[in-house]
Structure 1
Amino acid sequence: MLTNGSRSSCKAGSRLLDQGAISERVYALVNGRVRISYTEPGGHEVLMAIRGPGDLLGEYAQQDHGAHMATVWTLEHCETVVFTPGSFDAAIRRLGLEEALQQYILHKYRQIPKRLWQASNLQTEQRMALLLMEILNADPVRNDAAVPMTQQQISDALGVARSSVTRLLANWRDAGFIRIGRGLLEVLDRAALARRASRT
């Protein structure tokens, strides 16, 4: 399928898709992770998802010919394959992937209520642990456990004060399961992080 598109690369912090824009291009992520954010009328950003290699971006708008529902930002250097509307449709038909595409879209859509429930019902520490697990799981074949988000981006994603994120990360660092450096956040003990993510 990837042979129907054109290869492209972009650096960290690049904007691939704009909320409200009309574009029927579809991106297939080959390498790297992105964050998908919805901006409320007042300007507040709400994190909708983290995506990684193997995911599609822009397929909702391509299917209904509407505006993009969210903005897509790269978290790190990304390699993509870009499809025009015609090339994407041709590849889907040629490979008989129409039903698989609809199932994929529905699967992504069904993740939204769970995220909303977590934002309303879970404590900040558990939500942050879930976010870091989501980032790591978006690219499970990576050899490292780096989290390519700043503390400010994490606090924005969770909708909490940066001081809360800084305090929790310091506690986790002292407990020995993350490492914090200049521009670096690395998970050293995934099992410990998973335990905090699964607390009830």
Structure 2
Amino acid sequence: MGEAEAVPWKADRTWPAGSYLSQLSRESRQALVDAGTQVSYGPDELLFREGDPASYLLVIRTGLAKVTASSESGQETLLAIRCPGDVIGELSALEKTPLRSATVAPAGHVTAWRVSHRVFFRLAEDHPDLGAALFRVVTAKLRSATVARVEVHTYSVRVRLARVLLSLADSLGSRQEDGMVLDVALSQAELAALVSASPVSVARALREFRKAGMLESGYRQLKLRDRAALTEVAHGS
């Protein structure tokens, strides 16, 4: 981890809808950034390691990060992907737990603002929307986890995969003339973890999508070619 190069900050920048920074006032965003330290992470550096001491949170400025956790058998499972404007490490702050509950690794290069828990809650006294937005973000994550558990018992792997791909495209996609490319490299095992299915089932569904012209895939690369058709699948059609 290193100190990020100082660059001009525009408090009125537009952040992805639903991200933590998108829910703050311009004044609160500026206060948070001013109180934080800019840090950068290379592809082989971890933002957090599961079990490490927790004393600060990070707000992603650029890049993408993968959140994973280990099972009792030691197998790592991909839990989520965090984007610019997202906050990570907030649960340890809210629960006042001393250790990290997950590992967070960069998908490429990541820059972020590091803010200690102590400084964050002191800021929240003068900027109440910092705390309010944090609780909304945590609630949204918990709601998403609940929906995912319900969908496992309600919808097929095909439907769940279509929904995950559309969600990833909305938050991580870059538009090209012939489709939407996902700007994060995901293995079939990682996709399977996001869908809560076996890699074999996900591979089968991906083949169906490719054959139908909805998707183009290569090694750790995905492109949505027919969003309308994929949306029909996501709706159970």
- Normalised to the residue count of structure 2, the TM-score between the two structures is 0.71
Match of 2:166 in 1: 133
Alignment-derived partner of residue 169 in structure 1 = 206
Matched, 1:35 2:35: no
Q: Hey, what does 2:126 align to over in structure 1? A: 94
Q: Distance in 2 between matches of 1:179 and 1:196?
A: 16
Are the equivalent residues in 1 in contact too, given 2:37–2:114 (CA < 8 A)?
A: yes
**1:66-94 superposed Cα distances (whole Å, 9 cap, x missing partner):** 13332223334322211122332333333
What runs of 5+ residues in structure 2 fail to find an aligned partner?
1-31
- Give 1:56 deviation, angstroms: 0.6
**Structure 1: gaps (5+ residues):** none
Change in Cα spacing, 1:182 to 1:70, as seen in structure 2 (3 Å) is closer
Matched to 1:10, the amino acid is Y
Match of 2:233 among 171, 177, 196: 196
Counterpart residue type for residue 142 of structure 2:
Y
Tell me whether 1:108 sits opposite 2:145 in the alignment: no
Specify the SS of the correspondent of 2:66.
strand
Match of 2:56 in 1: 25
Cα distance in structure 2, aligned partners of 1:118 and 1:77? 33
* Structure 1 residue 152 corresponds to structure 2 residue 152: no
Alignment CA distance shift 1:183-1:149 (3 Å): closer
Q: Distance in 2 between matches of 1:120 and 1:44?
A: 23
Work out whether 1:8 is the aligned partner of 2:39.
Answer: yes
Give the alignment's Cα RMSD to 1 decimal. Answer: 2.6
Q: How far is 1:12 from its partner?
A: 4.4
Relative contact order, higher structure (CA 8 A, sep 6+):
1
The answer as to whether partners of 1:53 and 1:138 remain within 8 angstroms in 2 is: no
Alignment length (residue pairs): 199
SS of residue matched to 2:166: helix
Greater mean deviation of Cα atoms: 104-113 or 156-165? 156-165
Over 3 Å counting, the alpha-carbon distance change for 1:125 and 1:198 in structure 2 is same
2:77 and 2:190 in contact (8 A); partners too? no
Percent identity between the aligned chains?
Answer: 23
Counterpart contact for 1:29–1:53, Cα < 8 Å? yes
Relative to structure 1, the CA distance from residue 188 to residue 42 in structure 2 (aligned partners, 3 Å threshold; closer, same or farther) is: same
The one-letter code of the counterpart of 1:135 is L
> Is it true that 1:55 corresponds to 2:90 in the alignment?
no
1:43 and 1:60 map into 2 onto residues whose CA distance is 22
Residue 114 of structure 1 aligns with an amino acid whose one-letter code is V
Partners of 1:29 and 1:130 in 2: how far apart?
25
Alignment correspondent of 1:119: 152
2 CA distance for matches of 1:56 and 1:88? 12
- Which AA in structure 2 matches 1:165? V
User: Which is greater in Rg?
Assistant: 2
Q: Residues 49 and 12 from structure 1, CA distance in 2 versus in 1: closer, same or farther, beyond 3 angstroms?
A: same
